[in-house]
Amino acid sequence: MHTRFIVRGAGNRQPMRASTVAKVLLPVVAATCSIVFGVAGSAIAGIAPTATSDAEVLGIYIQVNGFEVETALLGRAQANSPTVRALAAQVASDHMGVRQAAFDLATTCKASPASPNNRAGAAIEHGRALVKLAALTGVDFDRAYMQHEVAFHRATIDAVRQVLLPSTTCAALKAHFKEVLPAMEHHLAETEALTRELTAR
């Protein structure tokens, strides 16, 4: 089962709406592991030197969630395995929720999301990766998609823990990152397990 992200809002806890998580679209990977890991890394590249304010932290966070949503929606539509399709659907829903939470936090933190200039390259790499992944079918697609998800989640977790969280000054945004990290790590563990299963077939 894919654990849902939980966000804190107005004094209570509730599952994130599907519209929120969908924006975390992951840069799509080609069929090989080396390409997959390279693409995921390039999509996150440049975060460390550019996250200098809450506005930029939010801009990067919203962009990365958008990448994941787009990739997950492709996985939901194109995966061969029902298990992979179900996972992709859950990832899309969860990341749409996260993205919505980020927009809500922008209001709370009084910070207008701003994308650093060097994030344009990440968007280009994401588009290229998506095209490569879309060209795959069947088991090849499933394996490449899952390998990409593993690489992207690892990179995103590292970016949140090492760059975005330390760069944040807004207490509500810091609390969000601390709350969502365990769910991200659980997603990664589930994704790694399914990837090992697909690879072994």
Q: Report the CATH number that the domain containing residue 147 is assigned in CATH.
A: 1.20.1260
Give dist(CA 78, CA 116) in Å, integer. 32
What residue type is 17 in one-letter code? R
Residue 116's domain comprises 6-200
Residue 118 carries which DSSP code? G
Asked whether residue 42 is domain-assigned, the answer is yes
Give dist(CA 149, CA 71) in Å, integer. 9
pLDDT tens digits along 119-140:
778 888 888 889 999 999 999 9
- Considering only CA atoms, which of 73, 75, 99, 98 is closest in space to residue 5? 98
Asked whether residue 40 is domain-assigned, the answer is yes
Asked whether residue 1 is domain-assigned, the answer is no
Average pLDDT, the chain: 77
More confident call, 67 vs 187: 67
Asked whether residue 113 is domain-assigned, the answer is yes
Residue 13: enclosing H or E segment and its boundaries?
strand 12-15
Q: Which residues contact 149 (CB under 8 A, 6 or more apart)?
A: 26, 71, 75, 87, 91, 191, 195
How buried is 161 (Cβ within 10 angstroms: 0-12 exposed, 13-18 middle, 19+ buried)? Answer: middle
Cα 165 versus chain centre, distance: 16
Query: What pLDDT, on a 0 to 100 scale, did the predictor assign at position 23?
Result: 31
Q: Is 190 a residue whose pLDDT tops 70?
A: yes
Asked whether residue 104 is domain-assigned, the answer is yes
Asked whether residue 16 is domain-assigned, the answer is yes
pLDDT tens digits along 35-93:
333 344 444 444 443 557 999 999 999 999 999 999 999 999 999 999 999 999 999 99
Query: What pLDDT, on a 0 to 100 scale, did the predictor assign at position 16?
Result: 36
Give me the long-range contacts of 12-15 (CB less than 8 A, separation at least 24). 15/97
Give dist(CA 109, CA 172) in Å, integer. 7
Residue 89 carries which DSSP code? H
Number of domains in the chain: 1
Identify the three-state secondary structure at position 31.
Answer: coil
- Considering only CA atoms, which of 110, 109, 126 is closest in space to residue 24? 126
Give dist(CA 69, CA 53) in Å, integer. 24
